[in-house]
Structure 1
Amino acid sequence: MKHAITYVAGLVPAFLLAAGLAGAAEMTAGEKQLYDAAKKEGSVTWYVSQTTTEFADGMCGLFKAKYAGVGCNVVRASGQVIFQRLVQELQAKAVQGDLMSTNDDGQMLQLKEQGALAQFAPENLKDMVPELRALADKENYWITSGVSPLVIAYNTKLVTEAEAPKNWTDLADPKWKGQVAIGHPSFSGSVGLWTILMNDLYGWDFFTKIEKNKPQIGRSVADGHNLVASGERKVALAPLPLILSDSILKKVPIGVIYPTDGALLPPSATAIMKDAPHPNAARLFENFLLGPEIAEYFAKDYRYPLRAGVPLAEGMRPLNSYKTKSIATADGIKKLPEVQEKFRDTFGI
């Protein structure tokens, strides 16, 4: 059995710290140039909804270990909160975040059309998994920085695998009344895309039926996962990496169902702001996101590594082994406001 490594928020295991320092001598010329410029800027500020705070802090810890002298500040919130904060900064002409990572690439398209993003092609793009690289902006205004399929989670102490929902429409079964948890499309980018997908597949009647089961509605897509893990709810919409890492690494009583009608595959995207206060540090960090350290860090936490040749964690299914669905970027932008309004009307929240 492979041994897992536990990362404490903001800290990095000693052997990785040593490896990072050793790696400094192996930088490419372009990377060294960015590093020298980033040290003069001092730090990078990263707005992120793509991961949990703890996981993002771990990523920053790895960055600081490799690039001594460059700080890394995480500002983590739900997708819509991060996006609105950035929009307000742009309107005030006082951008504070250097780069942003989100599960809603539609936000990136909006920022690109506003001229708010910097064009940058990191060196490490050449080593990406081709299918994941293809999900990014063709003009290099944002990169793919993760894929986190949305699936169904269930509490294994309260529900057997046979009893668990097998597809999304099963969540409307009256037997789950008071036992379902979902996120809110007005706060979470990935939940927004999932709401669009459900409406495309089944019409708004899907949510009318779900409402009758009185679901617990959180802001982040991670909220449902946490409620199932604690036993407060039996089933939930949740990100696959959180379920797998909790169940396998932490022995939390939570299981995964890959819905037969398709797991949502929302590509996470990262972009650098055109008016980033620390532009060189931002470019260095974006390139680092596609490097070997983050690919291995992802794999150890049951996330899909972005770099080709990095093996999946033991027990993790390849993306092509189950049905997935995605929403085109333009469709997400067009349809999101309508489903957000309908959601508020239906659930009163």
Structure 2
Amino acid sequence: MRSSIALALSTLAATALGTSYENRTLDEIHQAALKEGDVVTLWHGGDEKTQQDRLKKAFEERFPGITLNVTVDLSKYHDGRLDDQLANKNVYVDSIILQTLHDYPRWKDEGALLNYKPRNFANVASEFKDPEGAYYGYAILGWSTSWNTVKYNGSLADFSDALLPELKDKLIFTYPNDDDAVLYAFDLVVKKLSVKWFDALIAQNPTWVRGSATPGDQLALSNTSYVASFASGGSSGPNKNTSRPTDAPFVTWPQTAAILKDAPHPEGAKLLHNYILSDEWQFARTGWTVRTDAPADFPNIFEEKNTNVTNFLPWMLDRPNVERIRFWYETRLGTAQGISPLDDDL
């Protein structure tokens, strides 16, 4: 009885705050989405055009008649374009999933986001969600060390391994001053291993590129001299190994989703968000998840050593500090050079 009363009171409070709780099935939401049109538009952070092809394919197969119009671009560029839409009162994007966590509280305060709780919202860890449902993490992302096992038959587990003499001229990294998550990764390492480590890394003559996935993609190629990278993503492959560093913290964070309050296809957006938090999507592959009710064989991100999945948001919110750190690296590396990672065909 007490739980029923508590649930009723919680529902009344949420209604007063303008929060919508979802109690329909995916199939029921699908039918509602079909009535408003045949498309839902998603802007997803990333640095390769094809990075969300798996999501697009799975969504469209699961929900016939609905096209997932997904555009992948660097989150910092999506942010500016979304702000333009909001300023011009011309919102044509339904859903956003971005790395730029610091902008979600601002957009909420501006009234730009829909207070909406998908069916599995209660199972999302409280650390990853706005209590009123304006935004919530949907996937845990993280970066490790990577190396090509054909070109190097040893282990490169730690950040300090980047200073091995045999890796001189064979390392590839993303410009930290071009991507906040990479910047945060380097900030954590330098705070632990000191500026001397970074100076020694520069002496290794690494190659610096744009795009967090570019180093990993390059490592998987057989026609490059690159052997290893640290604090980056990219494609996996039979000749590529990865390891989580132990000598300094590595980066993890909840990639965060929200529905625009003025979304032209709100039912389609709700369908997408319920799907990406569903058992079907969250538990399709074993790995970190934002949900607290994962099967026993799923690793718990809060139990991982040497990473703190909740620290990226407060770090991102301190924009003066972020800019100071960015320019510290820029004075040493110069401005980020090279074509957009969206156009590098990797």
TM-score by length of 2: 0.76
Residue number in structure 1 paired with 2:328 = 342
| Alignment CA distance shift 1:38-1:184 (3 Å) | farther
1:194 paired residue number: 185
How far 1:329 sits from its partner (Å)? Answer: 1.5
Distance 1:103 1:52 in 2: 14
Distance, in Å, in 2 between the alignment partners of 1:288 and 1:97 is 18
> Is 1:282 the equivalent of 2:275?
no
Q: Give CA deviations for 1:183-217 in whole Å, capped at 9, x if unaligned.
A: 23454342133133234434555444433333222
Counting matched residue pairs gives 305
2:56 aligned residue: 60
CA shift, 1:102, in A, is: 1.9
Are residues 1:331 and 2:324 paired?
Answer: no
Q: CA shift at 1:312, angstroms?
A: 5.4
Kept in 1: contact 2:163–2:204 (CA 8 A): yes
| Alignment correspondent of 1:77 | 73
Query: In structure 2, what is the equivalent of residue 258 of structure 1?
Result: 244
Q: Is the contact made by 2:45 and 2:78 (CA closer than 8 Å) also made in structure 1?
A: yes
1:10 matched residue in structure 2:
none
**Number of the residue aligned with 1:3:** none
Describe the superposition over 1:6-58 as per-residue Cα deviations: whole angstroms up to 9, x where unpaired: xxxxxxxxxxxxxxxxxxxxx96364554333221321111112585445122
CA distance in 1, matches of 2:277, 2:153: 38
5+ residue gaps, structure 1: 1-26
2:85 partner SS: helix
Q: How does 1:1-349 map to 2 (within 5 A)?
A: 29=24, 31=26, 34-39=29-34, 40-49=36-45, 53-128=49-124, 130=125, 133-162=126-155, 164=156, 166-202=157-193, 204-231=195-222, 232=224, 233-238=226-231, 246-247=236-237, 251=238, 253-260=239-246, 261-299=248-286, 303-307=287-291, 308-310=293-295, 319=301, 320=303, 322-326=305-309, 327-334=311-318, 335-349=321-335
Structure showing greater radius of gyration is: 2
Measured against aligned partners, the alpha-carbon deviations of 1:154-183 in whole angstroms (never above 9, x if no partner) come to: 111111234x2x322432455433222222
Contact kept? 2:145, 2:229, Cα under 8 Å: yes
Alignment partner of 2:186: what SS? helix
For the Cα contact (< 8 Å) 2:43–2:97, is it kept in 1?
A: yes
8 Å CA contact 1:146–1:267 kept in 2: the answer is yes
Moved more, 208-217 or 253-262: 208-217
Distance across 2 between alignment mates of 1:104 and 1:292: 26
Superposition deviation, residue 318 in structure 1: 5.7
Q: Give the TM-score normalised by the residue count of structure 1.
A: 0.76
1-structure distance, mates of 2:149, 2:200: 25
Give me the CA root mean square deviation. 2.9
Tell me, what secondary structure is at the counterpart of 2:213? helix
